[in-house]
């Protein structure tokens, strides 16, 4: 039985979600899987909690600071001395874990453990084949290192970005981004609407902002929906944020919009919707693509989400609003023009890869059949 180590991190919801998708898929291939949170288990629980709290505080209160940091990280190499060793945190314990566990393959779904794996190779340590699963629709220097065997990326455009940054094409596999298994299965929109108590006589607008809804601008979306005079039905998902949910419930009381808290069955919501208004988190965008649901990106955070927006616009799979006025105008246009939504869906079908998880598993296990390149 092959042993697979998956290294993840609890920053945003996309990394752990990818790990949760991949683990059972490897197990179906008769692999023994171990999932490790790099920061919590290989650095320290205190570091993980403090750094995660700082990360969310910056996103919420000083997004411009995050934008500057993200741009700086993209300017310098992942092993640059200017990083002051931040990209190498946890490397020593990772080396011990590899010696103890002796996995046949390592899969990383976050940039820091990916760079840490490469650093071990640079030190001359013996390591197993390493596959890095990139969980955004962009190439960024902090994902890139000399000693990563295989990159699994979301789309051809992302592959070309990595090639432009010097990664050999043979190390890149366009797999799509891993999403939950239910997104690979078709769901009848009429049945989904009926289950949610929605009518089939008016379009449905779904609004989300990730599991931490307060990082988005959902109150703006509710006001925009209320401002439109055309028939519509709205669903707005507050996520885990109880205070935001109270705010949204107050705004939606007596309107055509219904407020929901955290929802497990996102697949059904997306099947029922005609368009999704969301900040462009990598996981949410990947799930919308899998569900063939057109996106109107609004309230995206600086950094990777703004670049995910750029991917969506260039690929023709979504619209982008940068202001409240643009949000109202684009919503009105999209709901008035079913042909526009049909064109977006057609482009989505061109980039959709419902078997992304299986492709990543196959790419990882294929590394085991190749001649060893490790020291």
Residue owning tokens 């065997």:
149
List the structure tokens of 121: 């190779």
Find the mean pLDDT for residues 222-227: 95
Let me know: does 7 contact 106? Beta carbons within 8 Å: yes
- 341: phi then psi, degrees, rounded to nearest 5: -65, -35
For 2-35, write each residue's pLDDT tens digit.
999 999 988 766 888 999 999 999 999 999 999 9
Count of other CB atoms within 10 angstroms of residue 66: 18
Query: In DSSP terms, which residues pair with 174 in a beta bridge?
Result: 153
Q: What is the pLDDT of residue 87?
A: 65
Degrees (nearest 5) of the Cα angle 47, 48, 53? 100
- pLDDT at residue 375 tops 50: no
Separation of alpha carbons 111 and 156, rounded Å: 20
Query: In DSSP terms, which residues pair with 96 in a beta bridge?
Result: none
What is the domain class of 2-176+355-367 according to CATH? alpha beta
Mean pLDDT taken over the chain:
91
Report which DSSP code applies to 336: H
Find the mean pLDDT for residues 317-345: 95
Find the mean pLDDT for residues 125-132: 94
Q: What is the pLDDT of residue 286?
A: 94
Q: Which helix (H) or strand (E) holds 184?
A: none
For 152-194, write each residue's pLDDT tens digit.
999 999 999 999 999 999 999 999 999 988 888 889 999 999 9
Q: What residues does CATH 3.40.50.2000 cover in the chain?
A: 2-176+355-367, 182-351
Degrees (nearest 5) of the Cα angle 124, 126, 131? 105
Q: What is the pLDDT of residue 90?
A: 82
Strands (DSSP E) contained in 130-203 are: 130-133, 150-153, 172-174
Name the strands in the sheet holding 172-174, side by side, starting at the edge strand that comes first in the sequence: 31-37, 2-8, 105-108, 130-133, 150-153, 172-174
Specify the 3-state DSSP secondary structure of 297: strand
- pLDDT at residue 239 tops 50: yes
Q: Which helix (H) or strand (E) holds 228?
A: none
Q: What is the pLDDT of residue 13?
A: 67
Let me know: does 155 contact 311? Beta carbons within 8 Å: yes
Find the mean pLDDT for residues 276-291: 94
Separation of alpha carbons 89 and 45, rounded Å: 13
Separation of alpha carbons 170 and 150, rounded Å: 8
> CATH number of 182-351: 3.40.50.450, 1.10.260.30, 3.40.640.10, 3.40.50.2000?
3.40.50.2000
Q: What is the pLDDT of residue 253?
A: 93
Separation of alpha carbons 2 and 80, rounded Å: 34
Distance separating the N- and C-terminal Cα atoms of the chain: 24
Find the mean pLDDT for residues 284-302: 94
């Amino acid at each position: 039985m092959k042993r697979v180590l998956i290294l993840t991190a609890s920053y945003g919801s996309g990394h752990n979600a990818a790990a949760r998708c991949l683990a059972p898929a490897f197990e179906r291939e008769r692999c023994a899987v171990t999932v490790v949170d790099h920061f919590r288990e290989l650095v320290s629980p205190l570091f993980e909690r403090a750094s995660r709290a700082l990360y969310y505080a910056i996103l919420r209160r000083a997004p411009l600071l995050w934008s500057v940091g993200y741009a700086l990280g993209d300017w310098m190499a992942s092993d640059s001395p200017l990083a002051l060793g931040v990209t190498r945190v946890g490397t020593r314990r990772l080396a011990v874990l590899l010696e103890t566990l002796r996995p046949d393959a390592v899969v990383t779904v976050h940039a820091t453990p990916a760079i840490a794996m490469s650093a071990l190779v640079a030190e001359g340590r013996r390591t197993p084949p390493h596959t890095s699963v990139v969980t955004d629709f962009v190439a960024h220097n902090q994902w890139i290192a000399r000693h990563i065997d295989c990159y699994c990326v979301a789309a051809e455009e992302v592959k070309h970005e990595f090639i432009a940054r010097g990664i050999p094409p043979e190390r890149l596999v366009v797999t799509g981004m891993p999403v939950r298994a239910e997104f690979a299965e078709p769901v009848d929109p009429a049945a989904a609407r009926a289950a949610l108590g929605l009518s089939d006589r008016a379009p449905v607008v779904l609004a989300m902002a990730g599991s931490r809804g307060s990082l988005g601008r959902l109150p703006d979306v509710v006001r925009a929906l209320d401002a439109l005079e055309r028939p519509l039905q709205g669903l707005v998902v507050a996520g885990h944020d109880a205070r935001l949910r109270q705010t949204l419930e107050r705004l939606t009381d007596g309107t055509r919009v219904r407020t929901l808290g955290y929802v497990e069955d996102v697949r059904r919501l997306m099947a029922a919707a005609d368009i999704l208004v969301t900040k462009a988190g990598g996981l949410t965008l990947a799930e919308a693509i899998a569900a063939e649901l057109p996106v109107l990106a609004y309230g995206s955070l600086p950094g990777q989400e703004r670049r995910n927006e750029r991917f969506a616009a260039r690929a023709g799979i979504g619209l982008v609003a940068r202001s409240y006025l643009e949000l109202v105008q684009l919503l009105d246009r999209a709901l008035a023009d079913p042909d526009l939504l049909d064109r977006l869906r057609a482009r989505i079908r061109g980039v959709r890869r419902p078997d992304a998880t299986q492709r990543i598993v196959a790419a990882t296990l294929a590394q085991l059949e190749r001649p060893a390149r490790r020291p």
